[in-house]
Structure 1
Amino acid sequence: MPSPKSDAANEVAKEKSQEKRAIPKHDKLQKKGAVPLLGNATLARAVNTSAQRRDIPDRRTYTKTQNNAHPFAKFENLREKGLEIGIPGPADTVTQDKGGVRSALAEVGIGYIGWTQDTFVQNVLPNAARSTIANQLYSGQNPTFSTYNFMMVTYDLSRFGIPDGQIIVGTEQQAFSWQPGGPDRWGINEIAYYQTFFDRKLELKAGYLRNSYEFAGTVVGGNAGASVFGPSSNVLYQGGMSSNQTPTPALNLRWNFDDRLYTKGSIQRSISPGGVFTEVTQNPTGLNGTTPNTGILLLDETGYLNKAAAGSPQTWLRAGAGYNSSNYTSLALPNNRTNPNTFYYIAADRQFWQTDAQGVASRGIYGGFSVMGAPSDLNKVTQYDELRVYVIGPFDSRPSDQISIVATDTCWSNLAVNAALVKGNLVHWDSKAISGTYTAHLAPGIYTSVGLTYINNPTSITYTPQTGHALNFSFSTSVFF
């Protein structure tokens, strides 16, 4: 089933639109007494609403329904489980089931999803202190290109009697024109085992995990395709959380009190205290069990998720905290290392208005906020605040597009700022930004995002008069296979 966030409007509305386009054929089938075709997300709700909320299929209903409902139903159980963000399903891909390849693999328990994301960013303000790529200070100072390419494969273990059992193996390749944005790498992004216990009350996931996809919900709108430019905070990564770029060994356990209330914990090998760039440089393939100065990250998130339904707007509240035993460089005593490090986050998203409650309930206007924090003696970013407003399915003619407006404030450590000030640098205490993004769902599996972001002080702590402001134009495409 789709993850708690994967019932996003992009896929739901796309399926709904496909149904509308197929009305003549649909009517003929109904006249013959046949079962009408259902959209992928519609099927998911029909199968088991409560199980959908927990990202777990009701296998009895699924088995009964898959042969006489939607042709993509047989792939639902092969989508990756345990995620907090949504990745489009097979119906929302370029390849779908062309040539019957996906069906042939599904017969032996194998599922897959591949996607590529390419992004261009450039500061369009004049006098932006253009430099060589080697001396570039922030993304967009010069025209900046990046590409991410992923391939995920799943294997269904439930066929052997393991409740919701699944093996997930994934790889990621990335390349950047500005290396500090990356750097370039090719390696794994996940090797995991998943299953449930106690009638799906308990979910277990273990292996090399990317916890940024499983905690905090940092992607605006909750869907990987519809939110290419969803802002997120460095607080989580400097605190040690793993990501697509930096998978690490971890054990995740989630307890579902009911269909809405949950708590989820993780024991994870922290990424490098030096951050994502250092971790990737030291462990580009992602297969190393450890890197210098890393310890254990203990993480917990408790949340309440009520999915959108007719007359019932979506509400998602979550709060989490992390404790990291890694050896961090002290900002108070730069030549010394110390531990532990900690961080926290609180976030909320609420659907304020449903524009198509009886059709696609997730369409509408949303608002949300995030607050994150960390100690100033071990972290350059000590606080991150975000306010967001976004619209899913803004127009009847574009039911799976998305518009987002996001305002952020990143606050720097007073110790780090004072140290730079003593050296005679121009410094700033925070960096504020506001961004607007429109994401268009052009065709099954194809998304394009255009964004404009104004940033006050785009560099880290120190700056020059020429780098005090940026107006970054962004263009990105995501294609799913």
Structure 2
Amino acid sequence: MFRFAIALTKQRQEASAQRWIAVALSIASSPLGGAALAQAVTVPGPESGAPKKMTQGVNQKKNRVATLPRSSRPDEALAQTANAFAATRDNAVSVAKNRTQRKVDPFVKFEGLREKGMWLSIPGPADTIDQDYGGFRSALAEVGIGYIGGTVNTFVTNQLPNAARSTIRDQLYSGQNPTFNTLNFLIVTYDLSRFGIPDGQIIVGAQQQYWTWKPGGPDRAGINTIAYYQTLFDGKLELKMGYLRNINEFTGTVVGGNAAVNVFGASSNILYQAGMSNNAAPTPALNLKYNFDERFYNRTSIQRSLSPDGQFAHITENPTGLDWSTANAGVLLLDETGYNSKAAPGLPETWLRAGAGFNTSSYADLQYPTQPRAKGNSIYYVAADRQLWQSDPQGSAARGIYAGFSVMYAPPDLNRVNQYYELRLYAKGLWDSRPRDQIALVATNTAWSNVAVDAAVAKGHLVHRDSTAISGTYTAHLAPGIYSSVGLTYINNPTSITYTRKTGHALNLLVSTSVFF
């Protein structure tokens, strides 16, 4: 009988111990983890005279035992519960990490205040020298105002000894003599979406430029845009009108699409002679862009043309840019159809576009310059850019190596530049240590109008029928808002159609600094 009592007592003690282990495991699996377990171990049982309320708490924890995985071995239950606790902990860490990442970018609130409707990318507030110093940008954003300003300073000089140096007045091309230019601008936007206008925005900008070689400019101070933008039909249709710079809305002429990167082909010459407006020469226009989906689009413009006598004549006549028109200028109709797929992890960036323009301005006929002016000029182009390799697909998919080409054509009887061809190979953020730097290698060929060439031959001039250039440029991101470009360009026949025996080729050194605020 005595032995039976001892055995019964041992069984009760083992059962009690197992119940306490189950309670401890249940508490350990709760969100309070080890801290709750430590508290549970010190809770006195009913036998020790614990308060009724605490006893009820222990009984509730006992009821949780039914939810634990069944196991004949307490160590297996402990392992399973530890795994559950680890999973809960990892999930909590992941949630906290995501919350932290969402708080990292304080500049996301300014995105809606950047100028809309352009293919050209101007650095945003995070990439400026002032950023949000003293909360000034935030204070303006509170009332719907955004801004971006900048200064771009460029120096070009021919490194070959036979550059045929001349006086600045007789200079025939940029770099023949050391050539310097500065461009300074400020663009202010006002958010209209706060009044219920979808993506609504007013854009006002001013620009000042100075050139030592005046035909490259000329000097001016005036507007570079006064525009209104909004979307319709849930973003399917984009409307932009006012004094616009269509060189930033059509075609895609800047290698890499970044305004901070000073790599320009000569394609702008053929576009300017066709009448397309630009930063130095904005003109009244109405632009409509229809988005078939997130990638396919069609963009149309009705624009007041630049002067048919060229950009220099246009700016000389209308330096402020506020005049409605210039002499002999008509209407330029533009249309571009394209496919634009932005870079994403595992999805390379692709931009294909083709367009045409028809101009009603009165152009001088190159074949019959003494005859009345002719109307009906036109331009046609096709261009493509494709990302070949992504250097950081998960972190920044746009980084990598790209290739592209452009082909443009204009009738030879009204345009001195008849054909233009460009091949480009460039890299964005090739190295992890330099994620915002860009390297570009560009080859171009500009074919002159055979009508204009033949007319120059008839006058006894030395002529060439095309100009070929190869350039290499490295652009470094030195600090927020500060970029510097260094490049070399070899040009065979750097002048226009006529030349002298000493101006057959050039090797131009380019140094440029861009600062944004």
TM-score normalised to structure 1 length: 0.87
In 2, the alpha carbon distance for the partners of 1:109 and 1:424 equals 62
In 2, the alpha carbon distance for the partners of 1:348 and 1:396 equals 27
Aligned counterpart, 2:89: none
Aligned counterpart, 2:146: 111
2:221 pairs with 1:186: yes
Shift of 1:233: 3.5
Identify which of 406, 413, 420 aligns with 1:370: 406
In 2, the alpha carbon distance for the partners of 1:467 and 1:320 equals 35
Shift of 1:201: 0.2
Aligned counterpart, 1:168: 203
Identify which of 261, 267, 271 aligns with 1:232: 267
* Alignment deviations for residues 334-353 of structure 1 (CA, whole Å, 9 cap, x no partner): 02201110001100000111
Aligned counterpart, 2:181: 146
Identify which of 490, 497, 503 aligns with 1:461: 497
Aligned counterpart, 1:121: 156
Cα separation, partners in 2 of 1:383 and 1:229, compared to 1, 3 Å: closer
* Alignment deviations for residues 56-114 of structure 1 (CA, whole Å, 9 cap, x no partner): xxxxxxxxx8xx56211111110000001101100000000001110010010000000
Task: Say whether the 8 Å CA contact 1:30–1:36 is kept in structure 2.
Answer: no
In 1, the alpha carbon distance for the partners of 2:247 and 2:163 equals 32
Aligned counterpart, 2:125: 90
Shift of 1:357: 1.1
Aligned counterpart, 2:96: 33
In 2, the alpha carbon distance for the partners of 1:457 and 1:423 equals 19
Task: Say whether the 8 Å CA contact 2:253–2:264 is kept in structure 1.
Answer: no
Shift of 1:220: 0.2
Residue type at the aligned position of 2:228: Y
Task: Say whether the 8 Å CA contact 1:114–1:150 is kept in structure 2.
Answer: yes
What is the number of residues matched between the two proteins? Answer: 425
In 2, the alpha carbon distance for the partners of 1:188 and 1:255 equals 28
Aligned counterpart, 1:348: 384
2:257 pairs with 1:222: yes
In 1, the alpha carbon distance for the partners of 2:323 and 2:426 equals 39
In 2, the alpha carbon distance for the partners of 1:104 and 1:30 equals 34
Identify which of 172, 194, 209 aligns with 1:137: 172
The sequence identity of aligned pairs, in percent, is 69
Residue type at the aligned position of 1:97: D
Aligned counterpart, 1:25: none
Task: Say whether the 8 Å CA contact 1:157–1:164 is kept in structure 2.
Answer: yes
Aligned counterpart, 2:105: 70
* Alignment deviations for residues 395-450 of structure 1 (CA, whole Å, 9 cap, x no partner): 12111100000000000000100111111111000000000000000111100000
2:328 pairs with 1:293: yes
Cα separation, partners in 2 of 1:239 and 1:31, compared to 1, 3 Å: closer
The structure with the larger Rg is 2
Shift of 1:214: 0.4
Identify which of 460, 469, 474 aligns with 1:438: 474
Cα separation, partners in 2 of 1:37 and 1:191, compared to 1, 3 Å: farther
Task: Flag the structure with more relative contact order, 1 or 2, with Cα contacts below 8 A and sequence separation at least 6.
Answer: 1
Aligned counterpart, 1:55: none
Aligned counterpart, 1:251: 286
Identify which of 386, 401, 420 aligns with 1:384: 420
Shift of 1:127: 1.8
Cα separation, partners in 2 of 1:202 and 1:463, compared to 1, 3 Å: same
In 2, the alpha carbon distance for the partners of 1:235 and 1:229 equals 13
Residue type at the aligned position of 1:214: E
Cα separation, partners in 2 of 1:37 and 1:214, compared to 1, 3 Å: farther
Shift of 1:228: 4.2
Shift of 1:34: 6.8
2:464 pairs with 1:428: yes
TM-score normalised to structure 2 length: 0.81
In 1, the alpha carbon distance for the partners of 2:170 and 2:513 equals 27
2:394 pairs with 1:358: yes
Helix, strand or coil for the counterpart of 2:430? coil
Residue type at the aligned position of 1:135: D
In 2, the alpha carbon distance for the partners of 1:196 and 1:357 equals 31
Gaps of 5+ in 1: 1-28, 39-64
2:264 pairs with 1:201: no
More helix by share: 2
Cα separation, partners in 2 of 1:30 and 1:97, compared to 1, 3 Å: farther
Gaps of 5+ in 2: 1-91
Helix, strand or coil for the counterpart of 2:361? coil
Cα separation, partners in 2 of 1:293 and 1:406, compared to 1, 3 Å: same
Shift of 1:33: 3.3
Shift of 1:36: 4.4
Residue type at the aligned position of 1:377: D
Task: Say whether the 8 Å CA contact 1:221–1:227 is kept in structure 2.
Answer: no
In 2, the alpha carbon distance for the partners of 1:245 and 1:109 equals 27
In 1, the alpha carbon distance for the partners of 2:162 and 2:104 equals 59
Query: Over the residues paired in the alignment, what is the CA RMSD in angstroms?
Result: 1.4
Aligned counterpart, 1:404: 440
Shift of 1:332: 1.2
